[in-house]
Amino acid sequence: MILEKHSPAYLTKWGAAYRGDSLELLAALPDSSVNLVLTSPPFALQREKEYGNKAQAEYVAWLAHNFFLFANHSSLHVR
């Protein structure tokens, strides 16, 4: 799926990968369209970073709020 107004960072005949503000990119996706989420929160979000990462509870709330985008049989990988 190619998102209008966004250029993929990586594109193959099987799909595209995007890099950018997750809130902006997720808002552009239709419901039930995500097959894979790969995320690596900084050290369980327990230590504040220079760039101002969110608290652990806020990260979990964000993930739960966007769960409707996952298609049936999707995968979520938290590293």
CA 25, 30, 33, 37 torsion-angle sign: positive
Compute the distance between CA of residue 35 and CA of residue 58 in angstroms, rounded to an integer: 23
pLDDT tens track for 6-65: 899 999 998 888 888 877 888 888 888 777 777 666 555 566 667 666 777 777 777 777
Q: Is the pLDDT of residue 76 over 80?
A: no
pLDDT tens track for 61-71: 777 777 667 76
pTM: 0.51
Identity of the amino acid at 43:
F
Q: Which segments within the chain are labelled E, that is strand?
A: 10-12, 15-17, 34-39, 70-78
